[in-house]
Amino acid sequence: MFSGGIAGAGRRDDGSIGDPVLARLIAEQENLTRRIAAYGTQHLDTADRLALLVRDEKVTRARLGQAHVWLAELVQQRGFEETGAHNADALAQLLTIDRAAAVARLSVAAQLGNWTTLLGDVMEPELPTTAAALREGAIDAEHVKVIRKFDKNLPAAVDADTRAHAERHLADAAREVRPAELAALSERITAHIVEEGEFELPPERARKRGIFMGKQDSDGMRSGRFVLDAETAAYLDAYNSKYAAPGVGNPEDTRAPVVGAEPDVETRQRDTRTTPQRRHDALKLLLRDTLASDDLGKHRGVPVKVIIVARLEDLIRGTGLATTATGSTMPIRDVIRMGAHADHYLAVFGDDDGRPLHFGRTRRIASEDQRLVLMATDRGCTAPGCDRPAVATQAHHIHEWQDGGPTDIESLTFVCDMHHPMVHDGALGWSTTTAPPGHPYAGRTLWHPPALIDPSRTGRVNHYHHPQDYLWEDDEPAA
């Protein structure tokens, strides 16, 4: 560490800049910043305040992007060497920041700054599209963090072209989605790159799977953890989408409809269970119904059922403990409750061939068949950056129903409950259209932002549910 200033590294004692042009520009920037800060904004209307926040955010981001360039140049010119301290220590004292913050800035600058070869040629940054987007003010420092983490987490065997291609597309996507949505997209892309390149062999993945059960506690509860493969997770997600929803299978609600029926609003509001508790109860329903069937055969000569041993007097009193054939204990109250489900019924559905997909103006609600088609095409919410799956969406009329839009499959798209209210005719409203023939994503839903975000209102598509969009060169069609 060092205690003095770093004037020997090129810093003047008065903090002035020797280059006359740059000195004048910085002075103008400082003066303008003071003038803007001193300007009263109490009289502004909402539109002006919104525009002010957007414009100032872009300028702030652009200045941050340029600062990374200057820092990279300073490091390459060994500007901190005369201090006798490490770069991070020198930068921390120069800017009066923590050393950890200085280390972080140096790390970012190393990937976003320009570098000069021994021959004097200027090389583009390691993450060129990300650096350019930040200097334009189009993305935030959190977007940069996501892209840098994506690049770091890729297996070392991934070739440079694939890395560059993915970085370019993620940086472009960052212009339109929030950091959390970009993170979800980057994880999806990473999984596809790893899978396509076979960087992790299936046997290695298979060895990770498992359901690890702990011992039963004195209160009868049992904890553990699980690691599911993709197939098992898909089964569980599909089941939970219905049976772990609010109001379904709530053991504390005696007024709830039979399991399998859609709960009404009142039933959902009465459900105070947490999401993990609903998932637990949904798994219990699945296991109970499976064991209640006669499809599991026998094991060691006895039916595959929950076999319980209990004393008659305990059953009469409704207290005490019973023992299962698998060695666990169970409160008598639970045994009695299980007895209420001794009889089970199977609902048989008839042949569903021939149901039409087009309903014109005859109905507003999309049919089951139409939702199945949308599951194959949209796969989830079509709002840019949204990661909500198809089971968490509703069918939205691209041409609004109240404006004469038909309930045809070509006029429907999936939108989640969070993004659906954003589509309206107001000044801050988004609109939706279908990408026309000849568009790079023809047939997909385009979301047009309000003019405040993009004056041209250029349509945007959601790539999260279509990660293959990012895995091929621009002049090649997506799969």
The two most distant CA atoms of the chain are separated, in Å, by 98
Please enumerate in sequence order all residues whose Cβ is within 8 A of that of 146, keeping only pairs 6 or more positions apart, or say none: 170, 174, 179, 182, 183, 186
pLDDT in tens, 131-148: 999 999 999 999 999 999
Q: Measuring CA to CA, how many Å separate 395 from each of 54, 144, 292, 362, 381?
A: 32, 34, 36, 16, 9
Mean pLDDT of the chain: 82
H or E stretch including 47?
helix 46-76
How far, in whole angstroms, is CA 364 from its chain's centroid? 31
pLDDT confidence of residue 475: 43
Contact 249, 262 (CB under 8 A): no
H or E stretch including 190?
helix 179-197
Nearest 5°: the CA angle 448, 449, 455 is: 105
Pairing of strands 329-331, 393-397: unpaired
pTM of the model: 0.70
pLDDT in tens, 24-58: 999 999 999 999 999 999 999 999 999 999 999 99
pLDDT band at 6 (very low <50, low <70, confident <90, very high): very low
Cα distance between residue 108 and residue 346, in whole Å:
60
Eight-state DSSP code of residue 294: S
Cα distance between residue 153 and residue 161, in whole Å:
16
Q: What three-state secondary structure class fits 414?
A: strand
Over residues 81-104, mean pLDDT: 89
Over residues 205-219, mean pLDDT: 86
